[in-house]
Amino acid sequence: MTIFGEGPRGNLAKTLIPRLGLNEGKTPITYLTGVKEVWEIPEGKKNLDEVIHTLGYPLPADTYGGGFIYPMADRRLTLGLLAGVNSPDPFFDTHEAFQRYKEHDFIKKLLEGGKLLEYGAKTVSISGYYSVPQLTFDGGMLIGDSGALFDSRRIKGVHLAMKSGMLAAEAAFSALLRGDATRETLAEYEERLKESYVWKDLRAARNFHQAFDRGRMTGMLNAAFGMVTGGKGLTEWRSGKADCEQMRKVADYHGKGAVSAPGSFDGALTFDKVTSVFHSGTIHEEDQPCHLHVEDRSICHGRCREEFGNPCVKFCPAGVYEMAEDEESGEERLRINFSNCVHCKTCDIRDPYGIITWVPPEGGGGPKYTML
């Protein structure tokens, strides 16, 4: 038996699920990209003594998401911003939005005099209940984010992953005793999961995130109704589109108006992507094969440039993708700075043509998180 617990957009699970038809009748799994920092508060300054969740700011009204601020021990504070990978704006940049988030007077005051210790980014599977695939099959089970087990109301998934892992282990032990690892035997895991608090949490949040795709006010109104209707809200929301299908072309979204220029970064409160990646501890051997596979780069240099303005340059929170001038032709060509990659997998999800594939890098390289 194999238990798949790879986190969101697992390299194995993302091919296994459609190959075995485990997602038949389900809505596509949708995601948020989260960026996060850990700060050290200066000596003598009182640290935050409560958990804070925020909604919206500084995100545009058509992009779902919000922030969080948590106090930690040893004068440390962790904060971050999550934003929908399905943002219709082809130039939306979660990293840049997070830097603007820190410029809010309240947050700026919390961090004043502090020091950035660590940075990171990852995606979370936000769609939940309606997207949970069949979790058992001959010889295997899906747990945690690999099975889209995430409570979007509370931005929590660790407790669901742990419980699903415990129940999968018990089902595996039972199957070993029987000498039978077929789906019929392993179905015990799925049955017990639906009897546990995992399914109750998922069902109570089943329409929370989806309503925000209709705008922030609709989402907030639906969330209020959901609190008193056991998660039903205004109606049973369903989304039939994957995140990459919801990005709009530059001409449709921005029209002929000028796109806002990239923001500036002061190096004390706000940081550019290269500085942020440095604080992630990311290391890849420079001479190893690139672990970000682009199926057809002619699309990047042609259709994608014309239709979407090469959005990978913006949506990657680590500055992996860059359109740089080719020395021989003098034309802009895609450059992949794979050594910057923090393994969030946003590119694998958001690319409008679905031609970017993230695979595990050779030698176990990547971010070296110690506090995130």
Percent of the chain at pLDDT exceeding 90: 78
Question: What's the total number of domains in the chain?
Answer: 2
Q: Is pLDDT of 340 > 80? A: yes
Any idea what the CATH number is for the domain that residue 298 is in? 3.30.70.20
| Domain identity same for 195 and 333 | no
Among 206, 225, 244, which residue terminates a domain?
A: 206
SS3 276: helix
DSSP 243: G
**Whole domain around residue 17: which residue ranges?**
2-29+128-206
Question: For residue 287, what are the contacts with CB-CB under 8 A and spacing of at least 6?
Answer: none
Has residue 304 got a pLDDT over 90?
yes
User: For the segment 234-258, what is each residue's pLDDT rounded down to a tens digit?
Assistant: 877 777 789 999 999 999 998 865 5
Residue 57 lies in a domain: no
- Higher per-residue confidence, 212 vs 166: 166
Give mean pLDDT, residues 298-323: 95
Task: Write out pLDDT tens, residues 259-291.
Answer: 666 778 999 999 999 999 999 999 998 889 999
Residue 237: inside a domain: no
Residue written as token pair 């040893």:
74
Q: Is residue 160 part of a domain?
A: yes
Runs of H (alpha helix) within the chain: 13-19, 94-101, 105-111, 158-178, 183-195, 197-204, 216-228, 250-254, 273-278, 297-301, 303-307, 312-315, 346-350
Q: Kindly state whether residues 8 and 134 are assigned to the same domain.
A: yes
Q: Is residue 345 part of a domain?
A: yes
Residue 257's pLDDT is: 59
Is the Cα torsion angle 221, 225, 231, 235 positive or negative in sign? negative
pTM here is 0.91
